Structure 1
Amino acid sequence: MDAILPAALLFGAGVAAGLAATIAGLASLVSYPALLATGLPPITANVTNTVALFSTTAGAVAGSRAELRGQWPRLRRLCVLTVAGGGLGAALLLNTPPEAFELIVPWLIALGALVLLARDHLDGLATRLRLRAATPVSLPLPLAVAVLLVGVYGGYFGAAAGIMMLAVLSVAASEPLPVTNAVKNVAAGAANVTAATTYAILAPVDWAAAIALGLGCLLGAWTGPALVRRLPERPLRIAIGLAGLALAAHLFHTAVFPGN
C-alpha cells in the first residue's frame, strides 16, 4: 500500500503534466513538484523528471500528426540544434552544485514566461530587425542561436523549456498556434530525449517514479493536441505565461526559504 499511493500520485501528475506539455510547455509545473512531494531531493527529482518526460514527445507526435504534416524538413534543422543543446545542458547539470541549480532555475523560467507574454511586441520587433524567417523551414542566425540555447536549458532543467521554445518559434514564423505548438513539442522533445539518455546512464534516476510518471505523461501528451485545436490562441498564450511566472515564484521561494 505504501508504494501504491506514490505511484498513483505520480501517474495522475503525469497525465496532467502530459497535457501541460503539449498545451503549454509547462509539464514540470506539475511533474517536478510531484516528484519533490514523494521525498526525492532536487537533483534526483530533476533527472527522474527528464527521463519520465521522454514519453511526452512520443505522445505528442502521435496526437499531432495533422499539424506535423509537411513540417519534417523544418524539424530536422531544429532537432539538430536542440539535440546538441540538450547534450550540453545535461553535461552542465551533472557538474552543477545543487545549491546553484536551485537558485538559477527560477530566473530562467521567469524569462521564458515574460518572452511569451510579450510575443505581440516581439513580433513587431522581429519584423523591424528582419529576424522573421522568410519561410518556416529557414531560420535566421539569431533565432538559430536561441533554439540552441533553449535546447541547453531543456537538457539542464526543462521546466518551461517548452514555453521558451514556443516563444522563439512564435517569433520565427507566423502560423496557427496548433502548428507552432506541435513543432515545439518535437523540437523541445529532442533536447529532452538527449538529456534523458545521458541521465539514464550517468545520473541517480529513481526508475520506479520515472515509470509511473512516464506512463501518465504518455496518456496526457497523446490527448493534449486535440485540446489545443479547440482553445483560443491569445488567452491560452497569456495563461501559459502567467503559469510560468507562478512556477518561477514558487521555485524561487523554495530555494531562498527552504523551510517554509
Structure 2
Amino acid sequence: MLAVFAAGVSAGAINTVVGSGSLITFPVLLATGMPPVTAAVSNTLGVIPGSISGAVGYRKELTGQSRRILKMSIGALLGGLAGATLLLALPPTAFEKIVPALVGLALVLVVLQPQITRRVRRRRERAGGPARPDSGPLLFTGLTLAGVYGGYFPAAQGIIYMSLMGALLDETLQRLNAVKNVLVAIVNGVAALFFLFSARFDWTAVALIAAGSALGGQIGAKVGRRLSPAVLRMLIVAVGTAAIVHLLHH
C-alpha cells in the first residue's frame, strides 16, 4: 500500500511536469500481482485527481486559451472514449501483447523529449510570425488519435500532446504544458467514467493512487520546474524497462 501511494505521488508530480507518470504506477500495480488489464483500469481511475491537480496548479498559464482548449477537448473526449472501448473490447491477451510495444514507444518519447523540444524551439524561432490559435484540422486529428492512445494506455500521452502542439502551434512551452494537463485530465476522465460502469478494478489501488497523485500534482506544479528533467527521465526509463520485462515474462 505504501509503495502504491508513493508511486501515485511520483506519477502526479511527473505527469504535471513531463508526462509518463503511469510508467511508475503501472509497474508497481503489476508487482502487487494485479492482472495487466485490471492494473491499467485502476491506474487510469487513480491518476485523474493528479491530472486535475496539475491543471489547477498551471491555471495562470491557461489564461486566454479557453477557445483553444474547448476545441481540443472535443478530440480528447472522442479519442479517450474510443481508446477505453478498445481496451475492454479487445481480449486481455491482445493487451498483454500491445502494451509492451506502447510502453516501449512511451520510453522512446521520454528519451527523445529534449531533442523534440529543441527542434520545436528552433522551428518556432525560424518561423517568427504571429501565433496560430489552433493549427486547424491537422492538430485536431493528431490530438484525437493521441487521445485514443491515452484512453487505451495512459503512459506518455502527455509527451505526445506536447510534441504535437509544440510542432504545430507558436506558443510558449509552459502554456502548452498547461493545455496538456487539461487534455490528459479529460482523456483519463472520460475513460474512467466508461470503466466505472464496465470494467473490473481494485478500489484500494485506485484510492491510494488518487490520493498520491493529487498531492503529487501540486508538488509538480510548484517545484517540478526545479527538478532535473534528466533525473526524471532516467527514473522513468528504468521503471518502464522493468515494466516491459515484467509484461514479457508475465
Tell me which interval the TM-score lies in, with the shorter structure as reference length.
Answer: 0.7 to 0.9
Counterpart of 1:14 (choices 8, 14, 27) is 8
Instruction: Say which of 197, 203, 218 aligns to 2:199.
Output: 203
The superposition leaves residues 130-171 of structure 1 with CA deviations (integer Å, 9 ceiling, x where unpaired) of: 9x9963522232222110111001110111111211211221
Q: Greater shift after overlay, 245-254 or 20-29?
A: 245-254
By how many angstroms is 1:107 displaced? 2.6
The one of 243, 252, 256 aligned to 2:248: 256
State the distance in 1 between where 2:239 and 2:16 align. 17
User: Retained in 1: the 8 A contact 2:104–2:244?
Assistant: no
Q: 1:209 to 1:136 in 2, by over 3 A?
A: farther
- Fraction of identical pairs, as percent: 34
Aligned partner of 1:176 in structure 2 is 172
The alpha-carbon distance between structure 1 residues 205 and 53, as it changes in their structure 2 partners (threshold 3 A), is same
Structure 1 CA distance for aligned equivalents of residues 245 and 122 of structure 2: 33
Structure with the largest fraction of helix: 2
Q: 2:73 is aligned with what amino acid? A: C
Contact 1:117 1:241 in 2 (8 A): no
- Which of 99, 104, 120 does residue 98 from structure 2 map onto? 104
Kindly tell me: are residues 240 and 117 of structure 1, through their superposed partners in 2, closer, same or farther at Cα, counting changes over 3 Å? farther
Distance of 2:45 and 2:53 partners within structure 1: 14
Report how far residue 202 of structure 1 moved: 0.5
1:187 is displaced (CA, Å) by 0.9
Partner of 1:119: 116
Runs of 4+ residues over 4 Å off in structure 1: 124-127, 238-248
Contact 1:47 1:203 in 2 (8 A): yes
Gaps of 5+ in 1: 1-5
Residue 150 (str. 1) matches residue 146 (str. 2): yes
Do the aligned residues in 2 keep the contact of 1:103 with 1:252 (CA within 8 Å)?
Answer: no
Alpha-carbon distance, 1:248 to partner: 5.0
Question: Larger deviation: 92-101 or 247-256?
Answer: 247-256
Report the RMSD for the aligned CA atoms in angstroms.
2.7
Aligned residue number for residue 188 of structure 2: 192
Q: TM-score, normalised by structure 1?
A: 0.83
> In 2, are the aligned partners of 1:89 and 1:156 still within 8 Å (CA)?
yes
TM-score (norm 2): 0.86
**Shift in Å at residue 96 of structure 1?**
1.6
The CA deviation at 1:199 is 0.5
